[in-house]
Amino acid sequence: MEIAMIELLLGGIHQGDCVELMRSLPSGAVDLVFADPPFNIGYEYDVYEDRRSEEEYLEWSRRWMEQVHRVLKPSGTFWLAIGDDYAAELKIVAKQLGFTTRNWVVWYYTFGVHCKHKFTRSHTHLFYLVKDPNEFTFNAADIAVPSARQLVYNDRRANSRGRTPDDTWILRPQDCDGFQPEEDTWYFPRVAGTFHERAGFHGCQMPEQLLGRIIRACSHPGEIVLDPFAGSASTLVVAKKLGRKFLGFELSPEYVRHGWQRLEATEVGQPLAGAPEPKVSAPATKGRKRRKKNGASKDA
């Protein structure tokens, strides 16, 4: 009966409060949850108030994360995207609920939201969490990248299948002297307003290439992916393209309507939007001067 209930919900976005909607799901039914909740920083959503007291926000976060833990299979995986303000607190909540942290990934981008009275925001935290530290899905071969031995040194000892990516995700390595484009870090552009990938109706949109790596790594084709804060529906779009079953919850009726339109225009097997190569998706800044080792400069 319960399994039949979730089957009826698969393949779409459902409007309503995610806590209540997750309570309607059977326990242990979902393989992967990706959640990008409100950060409680005053962002202007159309129907949600993103400025709660700290106590209220943390209590609400605990309630929805409890439901994530319940609906995940024993071998299930939970990815949580969160900003600086509550990253530490939510990591503690996750541990208290029984999750084990496998990675604390930092996704870095160089054109962050400008701040006048503190350093500009230029990264998001991505917690990779599992219910059982000894039983979980991690498809390393599906997300392998070329190693430095392959790209830089042409070392015959290099594994031809590549290596597992690092846990630092860089937006514009070509503009960072410390990170070169050929290095095996995670390069994913933030979905800016000028990008073709931009859905247009939601300001906080995750890149498809970033979501694709998570979904490929932590689920198999035909398994269930849940996004309790569907927003622009990017998680569900990517899950559909990669042949996963999926469902999403969203408080805003307007976002639900637009999300359904995106899903209806998406086909299984379609390529992910955005280029995994950063020089294609985010070319070097025009006219930028790059410093040489001897102190002189040259055009980027």
> pLDDT digit string (tens) for 196-243?
555 554 456 688 989 999 999 999 999 999 999 999 999 999 999 999
Residue-wise over 54-79: b if at least 16 C-beta within 10 A, else e? eeebbeebbebbbbbbbbbbeebbbb
How many independent structural domains does the chain possess?
A: 1
For 96, the 3-state DSSP assignment is helix
CATH assignment at residue 23: 3.40.50.150
> By C-alpha distance, which of 103, 151, 150, 92 is closest to 129?
103
258 in helix, strand or coil?
Answer: helix
SS3 10: coil
Which tens digit of pLDDT belongs to each residue from 23-35?
Answer: 999 999 999 999 9
Question: What is the per-residue pLDDT across 70-129, written as a single tens digit (0 to 9) for each?
Answer: 999 999 999 999 989 999 999 999 999 999 999 998 887 755 566 677 777 778 899 999
The predicted pLDDT at position 162 comes to 75
Check pLDDT > 90 for residue 177.
Answer: no
The boundaries of the domain holding residue 53 are: 2-299
Instruction: Give the CA count within 13 Å in the CB-facing half-sphere of 182.
Output: 8
Give mean pLDDT, residues 47-58: 86
Instruction: Quote the pTM value.
Output: 0.78
